[in-house]
Structure 1
């Protein structure tokens, strides 16, 4: 464990000091505690795993795996062989006992690309719906957006109005049906020209939907991997929170739905900006009153922060890789794979950082100590250092 203390810099000499970095590793972490008067730096713990579960894995307790056990193909040639094997297996299932079964789909890149192209050509209703709601959301047609806001409020106050939606939708569609050749051209249009602007618009819509889905999945996975299965407080806390949310929804469900809908519809209006400024001013006044009450003695200060309320904790992590024959390697002369984390990152691995020796202290502070010390307190696990066992 290396420790490093910092003192606050004068305004004239600010930013003239040595530096240290943040990293996310398999694992070396460096934690720094800093105060305006003094910054103490606690550093880095190294948890070593033979191989992470994936190139972008954020799991700190990944199981140890040897390089030879990697299930992911490590070359383009191996990847092509794997695809060919899957194609042959699917064709064998389709021609079981020498009889072709048309109900069994063949897995092949050509069939996948053809199916995706058909899906994109039929995604015109999705594209039109998203474009229409974007116009309403951004208030490009204020009259229409205001009408939807009024309709949403009436629908929340009188839920029976929902029965009027189907006939209203039919009445709005009838004028367009007269000028169309068939009903499908209006309700379910298909873009047959793959070089038309509509096809590329559909392609962009599908790509955006897939990208948003992947982003949501990765963020949820990143948060869930930090939860420990042995910690019973988290499931109990989630259970209690879900019960509280269910009770609030049961009592104020209609009002909550109305409030959330109005917030979404008013997101890009001047009312939203005024509300943001008003809420910020109110919170600032409340914080000022709390600070004054704490100084007067009306509110008891938290003993954890009473001695040093301006203490900061900064963690950095060093990523390492296990190589056959050499084991875990340090940063000198080591090149991580392009798809993996950078040598120095934050705890999630998403933000690359410079080495800890080159990282400047927080603005207004300077390091008081000259050396880092290895953080041996966890919360990660390391069998070599005996952390978390």
Structure 2
């Protein structure tokens, strides 16, 4: 039974943070004009909103979803039914073949694959036991020793957090004054050693015991302090993982093209020039913004910044609307693109059955927007399908969405085969116009070169509703 598509309820919205379009993945921040769905929270450009069909939560690559390591590789291994390993490199630890590597041709049955994996795990285990220092036991022991000695580091971290949160106002105020004095007069750093001695005396006083018990206490695994250190260590790991994932989330929308390098070079020159001319004042301002972020000063600055952005964006929108009234452009027919995705499985070949963690069988040009099949695909909002036109298969390439000016750079230079397919690896990258031979002992392919996925483009014309 065909599924009924639910359309979005879009409302114009100004985006002030680093928000990306859920359709074309381009930036919506600043003065970009965008819309927000009040039903499912979908964010996209106004020009992209006509092409979005299904109203459901988008499959965003948020920083929170990037915190699992090797999740994609594990899912491929767990869900894939491939029964051919092209090669397996195994260390031969026997005395007759020490230091050599042998290639095992891909087994054709599941039992041969399990035997090859078992031999590979055994060789890795022997290598770890031979190395000694690389064993999991040695790593766990080193981590336990680190946790037992980490109380002082977390104490300093808690003190810094209290100063940042203004839980101890006297220390926070002193830090602000010290930062201003250091930026204006660098010799203020010479006061750091005596201030640390005074701080240590105020916290501990005179004690007849080794100083190591105060600065770096060690706790056994059976004490409650050890588990407090372990909890703090886990929070520290999550903090660094979150920083890494935020960088990965934003950098995935950046391509290192020649234009990007030119822009980055010009921006870096501008920043270097500003710091050369106003270095100490900029450093002082940045430090004070961080120290005063949790106070009424930081809240006021945030409100003023948002108000300024609202005024600027409102002004630009008024100018844009006034120019639109003067020049009314009639709505033109558009060409709707729909992409069919398939994955290769052993024994059955390419099918529409994909992994649970990846794109759907039908999607847009980016693969991030799941769509119905071409038989169930409704026309975009404010458009109707052309009566004398049906879905056509694109067998020429390269791929580009002319209506939205969306181009997938990794696919635009690749021609399709006779049936319109463009082949790629298990990550939907490294495209090519012809698949390699997946089966056969003569072919030696790596995970990054196997043509395990493919996609092709269907298109159809839609006329505006007058």
> Which residue does 2:180 correspond to in 1?
153
- Count of residue pairs the alignment pairs up: 316
Matched, 1:239 2:265: yes
Matched, 1:138 2:165: yes
**Counterparts in 2 of 1:262 and 1:214: CA distance versus 1, 3 Å:** same
- The separation in 1 between residues aligned to 2:10 and 2:137, in whole angstroms, is 66
- The separation in 2 between residues aligned to 1:128 and 1:10, in whole angstroms, is 49
Kindly state the Cα deviation for residue 245 of structure 1 after the two structures are TM-superposed.
Answer: 1.5
1:265 to 277, 283, 291: 291
Matched, 1:85 2:123: yes
- The separation in 1 between residues aligned to 2:151 and 2:133, in whole angstroms, is 27
Is the Cα contact below 8 Å between 1:316 and 1:346 reproduced in 2? yes
> What is the alpha-carbon root mean square deviation over aligned residues?
5.0
- The separation in 2 between residues aligned to 1:241 and 1:280, in whole angstroms, is 24
Kindly state the Cα deviation for residue 280 of structure 1 after the two structures are TM-superposed.
Answer: 2.0
Q: Which has the higher helix share?
A: 1
Is the Cα contact below 8 Å between 1:87 and 1:107 reproduced in 2? no
**Counterparts in 2 of 1:275 and 1:347: CA distance versus 1, 3 Å:** farther
- The separation in 1 between residues aligned to 2:190 and 2:157, in whole angstroms, is 24
> Which residue does 1:98 correspond to in 2?
none
Matches within 5 A, 1:43-54: none
1:114 to 126, 133, 141: 141
Is the Cα contact below 8 Å between 1:137 and 1:268 reproduced in 2? yes
> Which residue does 1:68 correspond to in 2?
85
Is the Cα contact below 8 Å between 2:182 and 2:189 reproduced in 1? yes
> Which residue does 1:274 correspond to in 2?
300
Kindly state the Cα deviation for residue 154 of structure 1 after the two structures are TM-superposed.
Answer: 1.7
**Counterparts in 2 of 1:154 and 1:267: CA distance versus 1, 3 Å:** same
Kindly state the Cα deviation for residue 241 of structure 1 after the two structures are TM-superposed.
Answer: 1.7
* Alpha-carbon displacement from aligned partner over 1:27-47 (angstroms, at most 9, x marks no partner): xxxxx98669x935699xxxx
Is the Cα contact below 8 Å between 1:320 and 1:328 reproduced in 2? yes
Kindly state the Cα deviation for residue 315 of structure 1 after the two structures are TM-superposed.
Answer: 11
> Which residue does 1:61 correspond to in 2?
none
- The separation in 2 between residues aligned to 1:152 and 1:143, in whole angstroms, is 14
> Which residue does 2:218 correspond to in 1?
190
Is the Cα contact below 8 Å between 2:88 and 2:116 reproduced in 1? no
* Alpha-carbon displacement from aligned partner over 1:148-195 (angstroms, at most 9, x marks no partner): 122212221212101110111022213526226211111112122x24
Is the Cα contact below 8 Å between 1:23 and 1:319 reproduced in 2? no
Secondary structure, counterpart of 1:163 in structure 2:
helix
* Alpha-carbon displacement from aligned partner over 1:74-101 (angstroms, at most 9, x marks no partner): 99998776555334224445xxxxxxxx
**Counterparts in 2 of 1:132 and 1:374: CA distance versus 1, 3 Å:** farther
1:368 to 373, 380, 383: 383
> Which residue does 2:355 correspond to in 1?
336
**Counterparts in 2 of 1:244 and 1:146: CA distance versus 1, 3 Å:** same
**Counterparts in 2 of 1:186 and 1:55: CA distance versus 1, 3 Å:** closer
Is the Cα contact below 8 Å between 1:155 and 1:161 reproduced in 2? yes
- The separation in 2 between residues aligned to 1:77 and 1:336, in whole angstroms, is 25
**Counterparts in 2 of 1:77 and 1:128: CA distance versus 1, 3 Å:** farther
**Counterparts in 2 of 1:120 and 1:289: CA distance versus 1, 3 Å:** same
Kindly state the Cα deviation for residue 70 of structure 1 after the two structures are TM-superposed.
Answer: 8.9
Kindly state the Cα deviation for residue 232 of structure 1 after the two structures are TM-superposed.
Answer: 1.5
- The separation in 1 between residues aligned to 2:314 and 2:195, in whole angstroms, is 53
Secondary structure, counterpart of 1:286 in structure 2:
helix
Is the Cα contact below 8 Å between 1:322 and 1:328 reproduced in 2? yes
- The separation in 1 between residues aligned to 2:9 and 2:206, in whole angstroms, is 76
| Higher RCO (C-alpha under 8 Å, 6+ residues apart) | 1
* TM-score, L = length of structure 1: 0.63
Secondary structure, counterpart of 2:50 in structure 1:
strand
> Which residue does 2:311 correspond to in 1?
285
Identify unmatched segments of 5+ residues in structure 2.
1-5, 12-21, 26-43, 55-69, 74-81, 90-109, 401-406, 423-430, 434-466
Kindly state the Cα deviation for residue 221 of structure 1 after the two structures are TM-superposed.
Answer: 4.5
- The separation in 1 between residues aligned to 2:179 and 2:191, in whole angstroms, is 13
> Which residue does 1:99 correspond to in 2?
none
**Counterparts in 2 of 1:315 and 1:168: CA distance versus 1, 3 Å:** farther
**Counterparts in 2 of 1:360 and 1:159: CA distance versus 1, 3 Å:** farther
Secondary structure, counterpart of 2:72 in structure 1:
coil
Kindly state the Cα deviation for residue 212 of structure 1 after the two structures are TM-superposed.
Answer: 3.3
Kindly state the Cα deviation for residue 283 of structure 1 after the two structures are TM-superposed.
Answer: 2.6
Matches within 5 A, 1:307-318: 307=329
